[in-house]
Amino acid sequence: MFAKRVPHYELLSEDAMATIEGGWRRLISEIGVEFLHDDAVELFRAAGQRIEGQIVHFDPEFVLEQVAKAPSEYDLAARNPDHTVRVGGRHMFFAPTQGPPFVREGDDRREATLADFEQFCRLSQTFEQLDTPGGLCCEPNDRPLDSRHLDMLLAVQTLTDKPYMGAVITGEAARDTLEMTDILFGPNDAERPQARVFAVVNANSPLRFDTRMLEAMIVYAEAGQVNVITPFLLMGAMAPASVPAALVQQTVEALAGLSLTQLIRPGAPVILGSFLSHTDMQSGSPGFGGPESAVGLLCSGQIARRFGIPWRAGGGFLTSSQLPDAQAAYEGLNTMLPAFLAGANYIEHAAGWLESGLVACYEKFIVDIEMLRMLQEEFKPLEVDEESLAYGAHQEVGPGGHFLGAVHTLERFRDCFYRPLLSSTENFERWERNGAHDAAARAAGIWRETLEGYQQPPLDDGVRGALEEFVTRRRAELGD
């Protein structure tokens, strides 16, 4: 996995940070957050918080006490220990796009299937820049709604050996996740559980957590697994049309969810999530990749660092574009680069996102992998020492010469510079002779070639059989 060693970018002044702190304290205490789950409300009532119906009015000092209980760093286990990730600090881990109901393959835009889901799992396993397939690379619409989480879990567990995401559609689906995870890893320690699953729990913004998400959050918190508590804010729709106001609301929702996890199980691992963009005021559609997203990301990271909690950036390579074109590239970079600058610990949608998240695109997946490879290279510290100054090369070449044949160059030419996966550096005539392929066409060849070379990670036949048996039994129990 990647560790960012260069300094973080801080956009907000101390005065601005103080104003935002005052804002979240006022909002969380005076307006409060609605929890559509009686047990959650009673937990807050027992902890001394003021309750009106199902709205919890938080004491800000109580919230900070809960924040102090959450770990700042921890390991998220993979069945292959080489792929276990460190969460927090300067460590970053990446997942492909999550949740699209459609896929694009070249000119073909269609509903996603389980076969597509499995293909994206294989690609996520193969590219080392991705640390996890997530758990919802696309929505397999050819599988029954109530049981498709079983098929997706089986795929991420058997087609990859990286950490994976658990189901959050219901508390029952979350329990299925934990049972299948215990089959894969063996029983967990009830007193000191290993973090083996992470789950993205979205607030139903503004200022509400719905029943199903809370059911899943509670299951994972009780089991000591990772909740990624993520407000989904589109300014002008689910948040005020103001970046500072949205930052305050985002902070309130994330801290409210975190507080519940710590009441359930003090020390339960969490990740503070953010997902902040805007609504196009002309079309009413969500807009991604604009300057507001970039500013929101930079500020979100700075705020999260004050709490000392691992942070999920609200952006990978996000775009509103319908195709893997120039718009997709520049909008995507405008949401991924700030996530690096702001020191994100977890980045979702790092490969394949298209059409405001409605589409997982095979070609865009490869374009994003290329950009992710470049960014990970750019954010490595530059080593500067006497050897790197290459004085001996100047002695050899002298004024007016060239370095192509110098000993210094010949010793280093194989790996001295970044070797692109996708980009073309051919001259025009050679590029034309080779078919005049643009980036999307080259990407199509790369993803197909990558899948041809995919090797499934080994898994004990007994474990595989037990997982398949569980899925078959639970599918029948769910009526599918």
DSSP assignments along 352-414, one per residue: -EEGGGTEEEHHHHHHHHHHHHHHHHHTSPPP-STGGG-HHHHHHH-TT--STTSHHHHHHTT
Confidence at residue 287, expressed as pLDDT on a 0 to 100 scale: 87
Give 29's DSSP letter.
I
133-142, 189-198, 282-291, 309-318: segment of lowest average pLDDT: 282-291
pLDDT at 142 over 80: yes
The model's confidence at residue 85, banded by pLDDT at 50, 70 and 90, is very high
Q: Show the 3-state SS of 234-248.
A: EECCCECCCHHHHHH
pLDDT at 99 over 90: yes
Residue 120 main-chain phi, psi, to 5 deg: -65, -30
pLDDT at 285 over 90: no
Token pair for 469: 């048996």
Q: What is the mean pLDDT of residues 256-270?
A: 98
User: pLDDT per residue over 3-46, tens digit each?
Assistant: 988 899 999 999 999 999 999 999 999 999 999 999 999 999 99
The residues spanned by each domain of the chain are: 2-10+66-378
Q: How far is CA 330 from CA 63, 105, 289, in A?
A: 38, 21, 8
β-bridge pairing 50-52 and 55-57: antiparallel
- Name the amino acid, one letter, at 45: R
Q: What is the mean pLDDT of residues 45-62?
A: 98
The model's confidence at residue 280, banded by pLDDT at 50, 70 and 90, is confident
User: pLDDT per residue over 428-451, tens digit each?
Assistant: 999 999 999 999 999 999 999 999
Angle between helices 461-477 and 171-185 (to 10 degrees): 160
Q: What is the mean pLDDT of residues 370-383?
A: 95
Q: What is the pTM of this model?
A: 0.96
Give the whole-angstrom CA distance, residue 217 versus residue 221: 6
The answer to whether 66 touches 262, Cβ cutoff 8 Å, is yes
Cis ω for the linkage preceding 206 (within 30 of 0):
yes
CB count within 10 Å of CB 453 equals 8
- Name the amino acid, one letter, at 166: G
Q: What is 2-10+66-378's CATH topology?
A: TIM Barrel (3.20.20)
Average pLDDT, the chain: 96
Share of the chain above pLDDT 70, in %: 100
Give 101's DSSP letter.
S
User: pLDDT per residue over 222-235, tens digit each?
Assistant: 999 999 999 999 99
CB count within 10 Å of CB 237 equals 15
Closest CA to 353 of 342, 369, 338, 376: 369
For the chain, the first-to-last Cα distance in angstroms comes to 39
Token pair for 20: 């935002």
Give the whole-angstrom CA distance, residue 216 versus residue 254: 16
Token pair for 201: 């729990």
Q: How far is CA 257 from CA 56, 69, 199, 355, in A?
A: 11, 14, 13, 29
The answer to whether 255 touches 230, Cβ cutoff 8 Å, is no
Torsion sign (Cα): 160, 166, 167, 168: negative
Q: What is the mean pLDDT of residues 116-122?
A: 98
Dihedral angle computed from the Cα positions of residues 255, 260, 263 and 264, in that order, rounded to the nearest 10 degrees: -140
Give the whole-angstrom CA distance, residue 331 versus residue 352: 13
Token pair for 108: 């073909």
Q: What is the mean pLDDT of residues 88-111?
A: 97
The model's confidence at residue 147, banded by pLDDT at 50, 70 and 90, is very high
Confidence at residue 314, expressed as pLDDT on a 0 to 100 scale: 85
- The burial class, CB within 10 Å (0-12 / 13-18 / 19+), for 266 is exposed
Give the whole-angstrom CA distance, residue 353 versus residue 328: 9
Confidence at residue 395, expressed as pLDDT on a 0 to 100 scale: 94
